[in-house]
Chains A and B, each alone.
Chain A
Amino acid sequence: MQHSLKRRNETDSCFFLSRYRHRSSMATLNLSSLQALSSHRLCSSFPQNTPTPSFNFQLKPSINPRPISLKPYVSEKPRARVVALAVKSLGDTEALAVSPENDGPAGELPSGAGVYAVYDTNGDVQFIGLSRNIAASVAAHWKSVPELCGSVKAGVVDEPDRETLTQAWKSWMEEYIKDSGKVPPGNESGNATWVRQAPKRKPDLRLTPGRRMQLTVPLENLIDGLVKENKVVAFIKGPRSAPLCGFSQRVIAILENEGVDYESVNVLDEEYNYELRETLKKYSNWPTFPQIFVDGELVGGCDILTSMYEKGELASLFKK
């Protein structure tokens, strides 16, 4: 009886640890018998006076334990096998250096979906994340916390549905926890350094204070100032958050994908941008929308932007 109670204590500590798992809506651990033995050794390092939650769970090494779940439990064993094939283990994956000389990590890392681990310059894991575009996610991390990004391990997942991605992420997290006895700092509860908050979309620009106000400057002067004061300006139909025209939609998608900082103007806004459409057509000598300006000059419409995007010419255009 005493031996049984002691084992339960260790088990509770183990499950307490799992509460820190990032982005996991369910506090679950899939332990094989072998891992269970490793976890026992892992849990013994925890102080005994750690407050532990109560679980109706009895760990028996001889059988594969059923994970605790508030949702209806569906066996994940077949999927786990798929995940084993979908992504290499964390330890077997090669690290790719991230350094300022590379002008950001996007060039070397895969842009596919999968799981990735960010190491600092000391070789310590800072964060393990999952992403639809690993290169873009790492580039974002690099931009915000370059001092913590020394190298990256990336595991691409084919057929990346949500569950497969989550399973791949779990397998890397579990492997790291097993090896190090702790959660990566960036994945700890409350650490917001690595979590990309929903990007607040820039508001569309307005050329005038509103219809009721008298313009003291000709509209074409306002347009001229606008395109010259901002590096990239897109005149589109509808707001950037919900373009009302397929061509404007495609332009916004390209600009977002390039990660460029740009301004947008809704030419259909009759309250703040009234008479803009006709004035802009004369100003640019271009009869349709969207119209994209870079460095004060018209680049063209959707077709030209798409053509440059497909040829890979946009990066240099925006960097000038």
Chain B
Amino acid sequence: MSSRGATAVLSRASRIRSKLQTALEATVLEVDDVSYQHAGHAAVKGSSDKETHFNLNIVSPKFEGQSLVKRHRLIYDLLADELQSGLHALSIVAKTPHETNPSK
């Protein structure tokens, strides 16, 4: 089975999850498709793709020492292909394990 064929079958949500998990080794990775909330959105009216908006909640040690801008840039870089092929917007919450459990 060709890898290209396998990729074509995966949903965008699955591709997003796979790319982020591989690169960030996340302890928490929530990928929520909220495209339905933006149905009829003016900026994406021409798009035939339905998976346009995602909420991401990621907890990863890779964010240690990184500013919010850098964390978001890191995520955007990992998903650059998706953003160029129909993904319209991401809502991102990116934290380190320490930030989610300050007592540890």
Binding site for B on A (CB under 8 A): 237-238, 244-247, 268, 285-288, 298-304, 307
Q: Specify which of B41, B73, B92 is in contact with A285 (CB 8 Å cutoff).
A: B73
Query: Does the CB pair B42–A245 fall under 8 Å?
Result: yes
With known contacts A288-B76, A288-B90, A307–B43 Cβ distance under 8 A: no
Q: Which residues 20-51 of B have a CB within 8 angstroms of A?
A: 38, 41-43
A122 CB to closest chain B CB (Å) equals 49
Query: What number of B residues sit within 8 Å (CB to CB) of A?
Result: 17
Q: Specify which of A237, A244, A300, A302 is in contact with B69 (CB 8 Å cutoff).
A: A300
Is residue B93 contacting chain A, with contact meaning CB distance below 8 A?
yes
Query: Does the CB pair A300–B89 fall under 8 Å?
Result: no
Name the residue on B nearest A247 (C-beta): B89
Binding site for A on B (CB under 8 A): 38, 41-43, 68-69, 72-73, 76, 80, 83, 88-93
A250 CB to closest chain B CB (Å) equals 10
Query: Does the CB pair A303–B43 fall under 8 Å?
Result: no
Chain B residue numbers with a CB within 8 Å of A298 are: 69
With known contacts A237-B43, A246-B38, A287-B80, A303–B91 Cβ distance under 8 A: yes
A304-B73 Cα distance, complex, nearest whole Å:
12
B27 CB to closest chain A CB (Å) equals 20
Name the residue on B nearest A246 (C-beta): B38
CB contacts between A and B, total, < 8 Å: 40
Name the residue on B nearest A297 (C-beta): B69
Name the residue on A nearest B76 (C-beta): A287
Chain B residue numbers with a CB within 8 Å of A287 are: 76, 80, 83
A156 CB to closest chain B CB (Å) equals 34
Q: Specify which of A237, A288, A299, A303 is in contact with B93 (CB 8 Å cutoff).
A: A303
Given A268-B43, A287-B80, A303-B92, 18 other A-B residues pairs in contact with their CB atoms under 8 A: A237-B43, A244-B43, A245-B42, A246-B41, A247-B91, A286-B72, A286-B73, A286-B76, A287-B76, A288-B83, A288-B88, A288-B89, A299-B69, A300-B69, A303-B91, A304-B68, A304-B69, A307-B68
Chain A residue numbers with a CB within 8 Å of B76 are: 286-288
A238-B42 Cα distance, complex, nearest whole Å:
10
A–B complex contacts, Cβ < 8 Å, 25 sampled? A238-B42, A245-B41, A245-B43, A245-B89, A246-B38, A246-B41, A247-B89, A247-B91, A285-B73, A286-B72, A287-B76, A287-B83, A288-B76, A288-B83, A288-B89, A288-B90, A298-B69, A299-B69, A300-B72, A302-B91, A303-B72, A303-B91, A303-B93, A304-B68, A307-B68
Name the residue on B nearest A299 (C-beta): B69
Chain A residue numbers with a CB within 8 Å of B83 are: 287-288
Chain B residue numbers with a CB within 8 Å of A244 are: 42-43
Name the residue on A nearest B84 (C-beta): A287
Q: Which 3 A-B pairs have the closest CB atoms?
A: A244-B42, A304-B68, A287-B83
A279-B54 Cα distance, complex, nearest whole Å:
24
